């Protein structure tokens, strides 16, 4: 096992190739940017994966012990988050493409590779890894926040039940408190606090005795106090947000909801105070995540599109450059309007497979028609996003222009055909020359002379 430059604190990449010169070349190209690990066989690679948090693996397709695709298929369950790339020759492309979904291969790079293209592809792989990691962290944080909120709900509910059992207050007071939702609960008459629960005391920092008889508007920060006072006077009973203020002068976001209820012979207001600090933080984190995705989407060097279930496009600048339209011209256009007519049926088939749940993502090649009428070949990878009930929301698609590659493949095929024709011509020529020599020798023998040709 060969481990290189392990002092880098951020991105880690593993190159696997049985040719040491290739791993050395890759190390030299990327050692200044990443923490680079190399292995000359899959056994070494697996040993590294078990001890290092590898983010991206680049493997050669053809190796003595197994193919790169077989290697990735073997490790995909143990290392599902690691982004996997294949280095392959043109002759392996069909096999690699067919096995990409099975082995969770992010992308393949053909040999010999273009250093800039390989650099860009690896950077894209790291960006995908980091985006997935960010999403996992966000989901974990949201789950933690929800778990904490549920725990607080249970704790406060138990406190209220104990308080009701110990104090054994009048039925009116019990009903007023019981009917209010969990949170800080207060009963007031035109702002004057008549009764409250322990939850309000804990939320505001005031003791129970300090709260009784207090002007409840003092629990509201000055900037929203006027709004709350107006809602009290109007008997407003819908939920709304305001800014609370604690005894220590700390402000915090709250959600208020009030009801007019009977209490000791008159109608008063029961109000629920709910501290929404944690939910606001979760919303802010979600907003940051959405902004990060939007920034990635808009500034990606790869063409990107978000397509509605009914086929309307929302694209980034890179995609608009591929097809020669402006973003404004493409947004809300149906994808069939810019797709080559011969590829529309295939595209519908792939989309329907995703909608039926037969697969979560798909990748294929398709042709678009540029604004100037030219045909552009692309490699597209698309994923169907669903909501929590598994209802389809939209497609996120990455589009790479492969027109130059397609033209190179076409030129190579033509050259191979020409060489094949030339080879056949030469073989036929040699056969005919041998036949002529044989005929000359036979003629000379019939004339009593020696053979001219051996």
Cα–Cα distance measured from residue 318 to residue 246, given in angstroms and rounded to the nearest whole number: 51
How large is the average pLDDT for residues 1-17?
68
DSSP conformational letter for 98:
H
pLDDT band per the 50, 70, 90 thresholds, residue 6: very low
Angle subtended by helix axes 115-167 and 171-179, to nearest 10: 170
pLDDT at position 179: 44
pLDDT at position 167: 56
- Of residues 413 and 273, the one with the higher pLDDT is 273
372 three-state secondary structure: coil
- Residue 51 makes CB contacts below 8 A (sequence gap 6+) with none
Q: Are 155 and 243 in contact (CB under 8 A)?
A: no
- Residue 73 makes CB contacts below 8 A (sequence gap 6+) with 99, 102, 103
Mean pLDDT of the chain: 85
β 2-3/12-16 pair status: unpaired
- Of residues 343 and 282, the one with the higher pLDDT is 343
- Of residues 149 and 340, the one with the higher pLDDT is 340
pLDDT at position 155: 79
DSSP assignment of 303-337 equals EEEEEETT-BEEE-HHHHHHHT--HHHHTT-BGGG
Cα–Cα distance measured from residue 348 to residue 156, given in angstroms and rounded to the nearest whole number: 53
Rg for the chain, CA atoms, rounded: 36
Structure tokens at 34: 């990443």
3 three-state secondary structure: strand
Cα–Cα distance measured from residue 128 to residue 132, given in angstroms and rounded to the nearest whole number: 6
- pLDDT higher than 70, residue 174: no
230 three-state secondary structure: helix
Ramachandran angles phi, psi of 310, nearest 5°: -90, 10
Per mean pLDDT, which range of 9-13, 120-124, 167-171, 404-408 is the poorest?
167-171
- Of residues 302 and 4, the one with the higher pLDDT is 302
- pLDDT higher than 70, residue 3: no
How large is the average pLDDT for residues 291-306?
82
- Residue 142 makes CB contacts below 8 A (sequence gap 6+) with 282, 285, 286
pLDDT at position 253: 93
- What is the share, in percent, of the chain residues with pLDDT greater than 90? 46
Tell me the pTM.
0.39
pLDDT band per the 50, 70, 90 thresholds, residue 13: very high
Q: Are 80 and 33 in contact (CB under 8 A)?
A: no
CA distances for 384 relative to 38, 43, 81, 236, 298, angstroms: 35, 35, 19, 43, 19
Cα–Cα distance measured from residue 284 to residue 191, given in angstroms and rounded to the nearest whole number: 32
Ramachandran angles phi, psi of 167, nearest 5°: -80, -30
Which neighbouring-strand residues pair with 84?
57
- pLDDT higher than 80, residue 324: yes
Q: Are 363 and 380 in contact (CB under 8 A)?
A: yes
Apex 27 CA angle, 21 and 33, nearest 5: 165
Per mean pLDDT, which range of 20-34, 153-167, 384-398 is the poorest?
153-167
133 three-state secondary structure: helix
Q: Are 1 and 48 in contact (CB under 8 A)?
A: yes
- Per-residue pLDDT reduced to its tens digit, 83-107: 999 998 765 666 667 666 677 888 8
Residue whose pair of structure tokens reads 């030469």 in the numeric block: 426
- Of residues 173 and 281, the one with the higher pLDDT is 281
193 three-state secondary structure: strand
CA distances for 82 relative to 8, 144, 313, 343, 448, angstroms: 18, 25, 30, 32, 82
pLDDT at position 181: 46
Q: Where are the beta strands (DSSP E) in 326-371?
A: 361-369
């Amino acid at each position: 096992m060969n481990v290189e430059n392990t002092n880098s604190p951020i991105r880690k990449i593993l190159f696997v190739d049985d040719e040491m010169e290739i791993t050395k070349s890759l190390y030299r190209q990327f050692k200044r940017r990443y923490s680079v690990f190399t292995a000359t066989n899959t056994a070494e690679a697996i040993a590294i994966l078990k001890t290092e948090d590898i983010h991206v693996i680049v493997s050669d397709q053809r190796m003595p012990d197994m193919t790169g695709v077989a290697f990735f298929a073997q490790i995909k369950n143990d290392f599902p988050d690691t982004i996997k790339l294949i280095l392959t020759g043109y002759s392996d492309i069909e096999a690699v493409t067919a096995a990409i979904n099975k082995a969770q291969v992010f992308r393949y790079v053909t040999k010999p590779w273009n250093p800039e293209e390989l650099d860009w592809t690896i950077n894209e792989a790291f960006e995908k890894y980091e985006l997935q990691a960010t999403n996992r962290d966000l989901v974990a944080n949201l789950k933690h926040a929800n778990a904490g909120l549920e725990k607080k709900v249970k704790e406060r509910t138990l406190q209220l039940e104990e308080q009701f059992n110990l104090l054994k207050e009048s039925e009116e007071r019990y009903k007023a408190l019981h009917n209010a939702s969990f949170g800080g609960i207060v009963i007031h008459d035109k702002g004057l606090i008549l009764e409250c629960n322990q939850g309000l005391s804990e939320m505001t920092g005031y003791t129970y005795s300090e709260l009784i008889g207090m002007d409840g508007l003092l629990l509201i920060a000055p900037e929203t106090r006027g709004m709350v006072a107006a809602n009290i006077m109007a008997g407003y009973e819908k939920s709304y947000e305001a800014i609370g203020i604690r005894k220590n002068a700390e402000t915090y976001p709250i959600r208020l909801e009030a009801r007019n209820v009977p209490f000791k012979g008159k109608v008063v207001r029961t109000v629920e105070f709910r501290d929404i600090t944690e939910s606001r933080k979760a919303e802010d984190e979600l907003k940051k995540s959405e902004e990060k995705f939007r920034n990635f989407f808009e500034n990606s060097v790869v063409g990107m599109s978000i397509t509605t279930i009914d086929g309307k496009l929302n694209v980034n600048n890179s995609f608009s450059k591929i097809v020669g339209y402006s973003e404004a011209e493409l947004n809300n256009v149906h994808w069939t309007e810019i797709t080559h007519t011969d590829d529309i049926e295939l595209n519908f088939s792939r989309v329907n497979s995703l909608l039926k749940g037969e697969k979560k993502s798909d990748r294929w090649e398709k042709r678009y028609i540029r604004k100037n009428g030219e045909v552009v070949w692309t490699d597209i990878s698309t994923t169907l996003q669903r909501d929590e009930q598994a209802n389809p929301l939209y497609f996120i698609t990455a589009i790479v222009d492969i027109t130059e590659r397609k033209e190179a493949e076409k030129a190579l095929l033509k050259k191979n055909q020409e060489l094949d024709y030339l080879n056949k011509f030469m073989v036929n020529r040699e056969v005919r020359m041998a036949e002529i020599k044989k005929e000359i020798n036979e003629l000379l023998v019939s004339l009593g002379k020696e053979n001219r040709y051996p």
